Amino acid sequence: MRRRFGPVAILMIALIAVGIVGQIIRGATTLLIPIILVAIVFLLYKFPPTRWGRSSSAEKSKYRQAAIKSQRRNLAKEREDKNAKRRTANFRVIEGSKKRDEEPPRYH
């Protein structure tokens, strides 16, 4: 069975825990700023603001129209491929000059 964390990871977690406990003992106000920053970053990651990345509705409608047109074109091509009859290939057998015996080949 393999351990979930290696010795280096366990050491890092222990040092982080000691640092956090030390900060709380000295005064929790120094931890306030990093906690707030982490919370803000987490909230922005989970709930990104839409007003900064918003594109105009005209651009979205043009994109949707192009996507629909592309899908229709692909469907039409697929229907053509299915409906097209397959042409049978005209194969010829060309007689070779090999011996017809059942002997194995000379070179292996």
**72 and 34 within one domain:** no
CA–CA separation, 8 and 5 (whole Å): 8
Mean pLDDT of the chain: 80
pLDDT beyond 80 at 10 = yes
**73 and 30 within one domain:** no
Question: Using 50, 70 and 90 to split pLDDT, how confident is the model at 47?
Answer: confident
- Residues constituting the chain: 108
The answer to whether residue 98 sits within a structural domain is no
Closest CA to 31 of 15, 17, 47, 20: 20
Question: Using 50, 70 and 90 to split pLDDT, how confident is the model at 88?
Answer: confident
What is the reported pLDDT for 83? 65
CA–CA separation, 24 and 31 (whole Å): 8
For residue 4, CA distances in Å to 11, 78, 93 come to: 14, 50, 64
Q: Mean per-residue pLDDT for 98-106?
A: 67
The domain of 17 spans 1-48
**37 and 7 within one domain:** yes
**59 and 40 within one domain:** no
pLDDT beyond 70 at 101 = no
